[in-house]
Structure 1
Amino acid sequence: MLALAAGVLAAATACTGNAAPAPSKAAAAASATPSPSAVEYAVTPAEAAKVFSEITASDDLLRVKKDPSLESLEGRLALAQDLTTGGQTQLTVAAYLSTGYAPPRYRWGSPTFFVPKFRVGEPALWFSALATRNGQPALLTFAKTDDWRISSVAELLPAQELPEIELDADGYATALAADDKSITISPQFMGPVHASVAETGSAGVTAGLLAPGPYTTDVAEQIAALRTKAKKAELSYDSIFSADNYPVYALRTKDGGALIQYSLSRNSTTRNMLDTTYKLPVPPEASWAIGDPTVPLSIKLTETHQYATAVPPLTTPKAATVIAHQGALTRAAGT
């Protein structure tokens, strides 16, 4: 990861045939300025609005608390999973299992859509929407393979605003390629860079690429403090972030930068190394996954986090800022 991050830092510094008859002036003008309505895109704002409405309505219906004697709760979870992909799948499963199949319901406000201008035939379609969720601004992304699903949801952090998304004359946004080099952190490196900063903080080679805060350098300080505390108790503790194979979505912003949405997993492990009589207490937030209040050897906690980060253009480099987040414990195991 450090080698990869160093590469990111380095990148940041660093036949004819016979001529056809000449067209008339009228024909040339027509071909040079096609009518916007003649261009067809794979996803339209109208389709995006329909997808948002249908999926959020279906999701809410499944979240209504019901009597388990009248309906299979496991069946509800399976249906809810069918509405999700990416990191949202793990978060949705945990939301159901940790609440006895009665996850919180959401009230959605009117959305603003950011629809990339994908050409017809594009295999991986997606769009984003900004809407209030229970009164809090949230950024959602929907992705389509065989069907449309929710892929990412992250609430805007206090005092943060969504950067202005660049839109063309038809109101479409621009999706950035994974290896886009016009911004300080290419979309494909966003997850690994964030993981490195969350683990090493201001001491790592990626320091300075992400602004300090509760989801970057503060996490690294927390990990260091927990590691020291565990050592004093003759335990071992470690916490690793990983980008895994989660999808990454990037939109061009009006300043030439990008809004990048991505997910990370965090695996934290506490081990009892010496004292066989000592029992590790199970954290309250993991009690839904580990039935016993204590375990003798180790506890492994897995969290899933989704972020939206504003990344500046390479022409005016500065630290990227995490502006939105959602995360939760999604798996726990004790031995």
Structure 2
Amino acid sequence: MRAYGRRKVLALAAGVLAAATACTGNAPAEPSKAAATSSASASPSPSTPATAVTQAEAAEEFSKFTATDDTLRAPSEFQGRLDLELKDVVTGGQLPLTAAAFLSHDFAPPRYRWGTPRLFVPRFAPTEQAPWFSALVTRDGSPTLLTFAKSADRWRLSSAAELLSGQQVPEIQLDADGYATALAPDDKSVTISPQFMGPVHASVAETGTAGPTAGLLAPGPYTTEVAAQIAHLRDVLKNSEEQGGYSYDSIFSADNFSVYSLRTKDGGALIQYSLSRTSTTTAVTKAAEDEGIPVPEPARWALDKQRVRKSLRLIETHQYATVVPPLKAPAAATVIAHDGALTRTSGQ
């Protein structure tokens, strides 16, 4: 590691942000054939049980969202656009991601081109207090899995994750009327219960193949490769004779983000969830403090400095969709979709 030089290694540590939040690659231009037919076209039979949200209502809410979101993202003199987005349009992990999109683009965040969605609407009891539904739709040409949740009589976007290159949404189990089935948080018919999906992913991303959750998630850029990157940077910044003097760590947390799970046709589950990631670099020697810690370019919208002396903290929000096999056919779960970004920065 002597060949790196102190500044290059520090830049590498700062550059972990870019590696962690990099684009998901060239996703297929359109959803698979199984995901291309709109479930909203199903005609309920006269005996269809009542449900908290119908497919027609879900389709209407999706249309309302795209129209409202596009209007608020369009550049204008109206200064309350972000406040309205955060109050009425998004929730969950989309709250910090939307705020970051506005603030990092000088209140002119990216606007999207939306395709026609295929809806996955669970059949909830009419008394359900927190119904939700998912939609597979092209966003700027990339298949993206969205989830909308209802609270206080308003629907809001909670999750959005683009399909990774080569991945497809598995066939979702539908009843005779085209409604999906939501899994309970503690469902034990799958290899990872929905309530444990976030903590398991967090553990694998931190410890990789060495931790107690090794093997539960398939290796890849959002699981074992992240853990290897964290271990490498921690070792270099702490122990290198020429580049040492810093401590580094990166922690994933499920926080209180909601988890959404749909039964797949093979008895498994498609689970959507969010994680936060907090990466901290700290100067622990006088020489390191004098050298300082570079603030990566993507973080300077949140911290208007090029370098800090003592400590740099980067907070990211990530959203995933993972396919979990049924317990009757155990195998490693696979992350099939992801989106994420830096959402907060602090330093001194």
TM above 0.5, yes or no, is: yes
**Aligned position for 2:229:** 222
- Where in structure 2 are there 5+ consecutive unaligned residues? 1-44
Distance change >3 Å, CA 36–CA 332, structure 1 → 2: same
**What residue identity is the alignment partner of 2:54?**
T
Q: Is 1:308 equivalent to 2:321 in the alignment? A: yes
1:271-310 matched pairs, under 5 angstroms: 271-275=282-286, 276-310=289-323
Q: Is 1:182 equivalent to 2:195 in the alignment? A: no
Q: Is 1:37 equivalent to 2:47 in the alignment? A: yes
Q: 1:77 aligns with which of 65, 78, 82?
A: 82
**What residue identity is the alignment partner of 2:271?**
I
Distance change >3 Å, CA 36–CA 253, structure 1 → 2: farther
**Aligned position for 1:134:** 140
Q: 2:117 aligns with which of 86, 99, 111?
A: 111
1:195/1:241 contact within 8 Å kept: yes
Structure-2-length-normalised TM-score? 0.84
Q: Could you say what the CA RMSD is over the residues aligned between the two structures, in angstroms?
A: 0.9
After the TM superposition, which parts of structure 1 deviate over 3 Å for at least 4 consecutive aligned residues?
35-38
Specify which structure has the bigger relative contact order, considering alpha-carbon pairs within 8 angstroms and separated by 6 or more residues.
2
Shift of 1:40: 1.0
**What residue identity is the alignment partner of 2:328?**
T
**Aligned position for 1:321:** 334
Q: For the pair shown, which has the larger CA radius of gyration, 1 or 2?
A: 1
**Helix, strand or coil at the partner of 2:235:** helix
**What residue identity is the alignment partner of 1:287?**
R
**What residue identity is the alignment partner of 1:144?**
K
Shift of 1:205: 1.1
2:48/2:177 contact within 8 Å kept: no
Deviations 1:31-86 (A, max 9, x none): xxxx65352111000000000000111001111123xxx332xx111011121110
**Aligned position for 1:145:** 151
Q: 2: CA distance between counterparts of 1:38 and 1:330?
A: 44
**Aligned position for 1:253:** 264
1:36/1:170 contact within 8 Å kept: no
**Aligned position for 1:88:** 94
Deviations 1:214-262 (A, max 9, x none): 0000000110111122112210000000000000000000000000000
Q: 2: CA distance between counterparts of 1:41 and 1:169?
A: 14
Distance change >3 Å, CA 113–CA 38, structure 1 → 2: closer
**What residue identity is the alignment partner of 1:207?**
A
**Helix, strand or coil at the partner of 1:191:** helix
Q: 2: CA distance between counterparts of 1:36 and 1:164?
A: 26
- Where in structure 1 are there 5+ consecutive unaligned residues? 1-34
Shift of 1:279: 1.5
**Aligned position for 2:68:** 58
Q: 2:130 aligns with which of 124, 137, 142?
A: 124
Sequence identity of aligned pairs in percent? 66
Aligned residues: 296
Q: 2:107 aligns with which of 87, 95, 101?
A: 101
**What residue identity is the alignment partner of 2:150?**
K
Q: 1: CA distance between counterparts of 2:343 and 2:90?
A: 15
**What residue identity is the alignment partner of 1:195?**
A
Structure-1-length-normalised TM-score? 0.87
